[in-house]
Homo-oligomer: A and B are copies of this chain.
Amino acid sequence: MAHRPRSEMIAETRAKLLAAARQAFGTVGYADASMDDFTAAAGLTRGALYHHFGDKKGLLQAVIAEIDAEMNERLCTISGRAPNRWQGFVDESVAYIEMALEPEIQRIMLRDGPAVLGDPAQWPNANACISSMTRSLARLKADGAVADIDPEAAARLISGASLYAAQWIANSDDPEATSKKAVAAFKAMLEGFLVR
């Protein structure tokens, strides 16, 4: 019980750095987050950061991977408890809009992430959401519920629409009312994918 604490300490500092960075990125944004500041807030220095994550971009990637895993898990449980596949898919998509309302997700995943790391589709770890949505659509297509369209194409259209809808809602004067309008339009739009 003397050689465990060592590796635990390491994991702990890594976790502390990740949490501090996530907090900073999520509030002031990537560009204005000073590595000196938030490492000091975690009781560490930039030395630890460069040791664990390589550089500032590497740190952002790690933060994104963490958030993406959380998002994916939430979406899976939501779509899992629906009565049928299509309803599960609609629920999942609407939930995606609602998640995109969270400031941290908006800032890190939807704004700074793409700006700093490029197209989200190319991210190594952070396409769990898209790929799970693609699989859902492929199943629905096999079931004969949705029309003959490319599942991945539809998944990307939907996630893009969700993102913009979420930004619109988040910045509106009356988020409640705006959210209702957006979700209504969104559901109508989804029905475009159904067989007629």
A-to-B contact residues, CB < 8 Å:
29-31, 111-112, 114-116, 118-122, 147, 149-150, 152-154, 156-165, 167-168, 170-171, 178, 181-182, 184-186, 188-193, 196
Contacts and interface: CB of A to CB of B under 8 A. Distances in A.
Grouping DSSP codes into helix (H, G, I), strand (E, B) and loop, the A interface class, with mixed when no group exceeds half, is helix
A98 B150 CA distance: 18
Contacts of A152: 168, 181
Contacts of A121: 167-168, 171
Contact of A111 (B114, B158, B163): B114
Copies in the complex: 2
Q: Which 4 residue pairs across A and B have the least CB separation, nearest first? A: A192-B192, A160-B164, A115-B115, A153-B185
Contacts of A156: 161, 164-165, 168, 182
Nearest to A190: B192
A179 to B, nearest CB: 10
Contacts of A160: 160-165
